[in-house]
Amino acid sequence: MTTQDIAESFTKLCKAGKFDEAGAKFWSDDVISIEPMTGDMARLKGRKAVEGKGKWFSENHEVHSCKVDGPFVNGDEFILGFEMDMTPKGKQRMTMKETGLYRVKDGKVVEEKFYFNG
Amino acid sequence: MTTQDIAESFTKLCKAGKFDEAGAKFWSDDVISIEPMTGDMARLKGRKAVEGKGKWFSENHEVHSCKVDGPFVNGDEFILGFEMDMTPKGKQRMTMKETGLYRVKDGKVVEEKFYFNG
């Protein structure tokens, strides 16, 4: 599979709301996940840690809908845009916009890096 | 200026259609510009070469409008989304969607890398 193929397959799952399945299928065992923040979750390494972040997110946010834009591809990287209508636990409903940059190696996503708007 | 400040200032100029002014103000002299293609313009280095690409683009495309989304920031990088309504010279009017990843160092954009959709 080319990066374009992987990007399209990954994106198709995200557009269907199957973010966990996209990760399960395409994350490398050593995947690195980088968030634009400080603290424990700023940089995670390994499938188990990144799955843990996904679990934490699901447990602490109610996602009403998520628009996914892309994929935008160059070489071994692709970018997705996300616009998420969600309610963080105990807070007000909000729209979160972010982009994700994915780096592909040997048919797997080896790094994902997120960028926030605002 | 922080990367967030530079990203916002750069984006404001782009949203006003002032792409050349954004480059003139923020490109470093050694800026690297990477396009998702092969050939002469795939990787350009230096302000003069990158300005030359901008000039070539302007001369060969009529841009009717351009929506700019962002900036999306993480560390010393930011991402912009572009949706351009344009007519390439001698071709049909089309919508081009791309994203740009910008890397900032010492208050200047030292690298821009574009990703295409489709």
Judge whether A103 and A77 are in contact, CB under 8 Å.
Answer: yes
Residue A41 pLDDT exceeds 90: no
This complex has an ipTM of 0.94
Q: How do strand A61-74 and strand B94-105 relate by DSSP bridges?
A: unpaired
> Predicted confidence band at A38 (pLDDT cuts at 50, 70, 90)?
confident
Best probe of the A interface among B32, B68, B72, by most A CBs < 10 A, is: B72
Could you read off the pLDDT of B31-70 as tens digits, one per residue?
999 999 888 889 999 999 999 999 999 999 999 999 999 9
- Mind spelling out the 3-state secondary structure of B45-87? ECHHHHHHHHHHHHHHEEEEEEEEEEEEEECCEEEEEEEEEEE
Mean pLDDT of the residues in chain A: 95
Chain A hits for B71, CB-CB cut-off 8 Å, are: 117
Predicted pLDDT of residue B40: 86
Q: Which two tokens stand for residue A22?
A: 């996209």
Q: Tell the burial category of B96 from Cβ atoms under 10 Å away from its Cβ (0-12, 13-18, 19+).
A: middle
Q: Mean of the pLDDT values across residues A41-58?
A: 94
CB nearest B72 (choices: A75, A78, A116)? A116
Subunit contact A74:B34, Cβ cutoff 8 A: yes
Judge whether B32 and B105 are in contact, CB under 8 Å.
Answer: no
What predicted TM-score, i.e. pTM, was given to this entire model? 0.95
Could you read off the pLDDT of B78-118 as tens digits, one per residue?
999 999 999 999 999 999 999 999 999 999 999 999 999 97
Residue A118 pLDDT exceeds 80: no
Taking residue B15's Cβ as centre, other Cβ atoms within 10 Å add up to 15
- In chain B, how many H helices and how many E strands? 3, 6
Mean pLDDT of the residues in chain B: 95
Best probe of the A interface among B11, B74, B84, B116, by most A CBs < 10 A, is: B74
In the A/B pair of chains, how many CB contacts fall below 8 A?
61
